[in-house]
Structure 1
Amino acid sequence: MVAFPQTLDDAIAQAQSATQAAIAAGYTRLQIDLLLPELKPTPVALQYLPVFSELGAGLKIFFTDAGAAALARRDWGMLSHQICSLDVAGARQTTPVEELVSPDDQVFLFVAPSTVEVSPVEQVCTVTGDRPVILLAPRLEDIGAVGIGYTARKIRERFLSTFEPCYYVRPLDQAALLRCYPSPWQIWLESDEAYTLAAEELLKPSSEKLEEILLRVGGVQAAPKRSFIEEMQRFLRALVQ
């Protein structure tokens, strides 16, 4: 059984294991969500990279802009992996997609893509074939709020639905939602500064389903709710201790 991550290091290690298991099972589009406040995706990406250490230059890492890619090259030292940017100008891809993907590339890792980068990410995916593509710590929760039309939004949502959420951790009010492939979705309850497994679901539970589960396993007399920001900050402090 998957243990609840006690530190951020634990969560990243679980994400690595989930990635390996999902790729071994044949999945080629994976998503890793660490929904924690003030999380810096670049250090997380560096700690995650050893899962592909044997690939060398076969791993191509995309950042959302040239500045972030340049900082990673400077701070990460002599890595053999390729570090690139998506070259996004507004919402347009300024570099031909054929120049972003080469036959020698084996795995593609996108670090913290937002809704703005969904279109260029999709363009890259059209030419990657069956080679694995991974979205690491994407910022896609507000896709419905992006100023695009209904049809375009549905197209983006349809594309993102092709990604398997192989790792997901998100704090709730005195609880947390966890998924570590191949395990199902798990709801954990907080008690005495620890988390205990309360329920499992084959599919990601909706907010209504989560509320129903928490009421059933935790009792109807819920503690006063913290604000979402307060809960996220408390959860992150617990992970990084």
Structure 2
Amino acid sequence: MVVPDYQMLEYVERIASDLSDDPPRPLIMWNPRLISEDVGVGFNVRKLRRYFLSTFTTVYSMRPLPSGAVFRCYPGSWKVFYDDKDRPNRYLLAKEMINRPDAEDLGIIYGDVEDKSEKGPSFFNAAAGIFSSLSRFVKVISK
């Protein structure tokens, strides 16, 4: 499935259920958007995460951030990178994790990195950095 969204959730769940028969077959989703920010983060979203999305394994993920990136290539661990201030367009590994880092984890990791540096990036630099972050990260991991 390519970019399934929240409106297709019932359809996606039905297909996943059909594929889970014996023998189970994989369901591959490219850039799923099954949680809508318009709906909020209430009980239904928590239930969706707990009972449906938790049954999936993320095999490849690359998420650019204003001051770094999060990456995973299965079966490897989740890797959090931050921008190398001494060498532009390069990343340094901040931390490896078994589980996908959430916003709180990233805040702690990047807080530690910023505490080690003298001055963190300005708001403008951080906002502009996200646009070039993905292409830089692809170049770094492809070497």
- Give the TM-score range, shorter chain: 0.7 to 0.9
In the alignment, which residue of structure 1 is the partner of 2:38? 145
Q: Which of 100, 104, 116 is residue 7 of structure 2 equivalent to? A: 116
RMSD of aligned residue pairs (Cα, Å)? 2.7
Structure 1 residue 234 displacement after superposition: 2.0
Whole-angstrom distance in 1 between the partners of 2:3 and 2:129? 22
- Unaligned 5+ segments in structure 1 are 1-109
Structure 1 partner of 2:26:
132
Q: Secondary structure at the match of 1:112?
A: coil
The equivalent of 2:61 in structure 1 is: 168
CA contact under 8 A between 1:187 and 1:200: conserved in structure 2?
yes
Map 1:75-224 → 2, pairs under 5 A: 110-128=1-19, 129=21, 130-140=24-34, 142-146=35-39, 150-157=42-49, 158-191=51-84, 192-218=88-114, 219=116, 221-224=119-122
Pairwise CA distance, 1:232: 3.2
- Partners of 1:185 and 1:206 lie apart in 2 by 11
Can you list the C-alpha shifts for 1:84-103, whole angstroms capped at 9, x where unaligned? Answer: xxxxxxxxxxxxxxxxxxxx
Call closer, same or farther: CA 1:177–1:236 in 2, change over 3 Å: closer
Q: Which letter maps to 2:2?
A: V
Name which one, 1 or 2, has greater alpha-carbon Rg: 1
Distance 1:161 1:227 in 2: 35
Greater share of residues in strand: 1
| Aligned-partner Cα distance in 2 for 1:188–1:239 | 9
Alpha-carbon contact 1:144-1:153 (below 8 Å) kept? no
Aligned residue pairs, count = 130
2-structure distance, mates of 1:113, 1:124: 12
- SS at 1:183's partner residue? coil
Q: TM-score, normalised by structure 1?
A: 0.47
User: Any stretches of 5+ residues in structure 2 without a counterpart?
Assistant: none
Q: Distance in 2 between matches of 1:155 and 1:163?
A: 14
Q: Percent identity?
A: 29
AA partner of residue 137 (structure 1): N
Matched to 1:207, the amino acid is A
Give the aligned residue type for 1:159.
F
Per-residue CA distance 1:4-37 (angstroms, 9 max, x = gap): xxxxxxxxxxxxxxxxxxxxxxxxxxxxxxxxxx
By how many angstroms is 1:239 displaced? Answer: 6.1
Query: How far has the Cα of 1:139 moved from its partner?
Result: 2.2
Q: In 2, Cα distance between the equivalents of 1:117 and 1:233?
A: 29
1:195 CA drift (Å): 1.3
Q: Does 1:234 align with 2:132?
A: yes
CA distance in 2, matches of 1:213, 1:239: 18
Task: After TM superposition, give the deviation of residue 226 of structure 1 in Å.
Answer: 4.0
TM-score by length of 2: 0.74
Distance 1:231 1:115, change over 3 A: farther
Q: Please say if residues 70 and 81 of structure 2, whose CA atoms lie closer than 8 Å, have aligned partners that are also in contact.
A: yes
Distance 1:155 1:120 in 2: 17
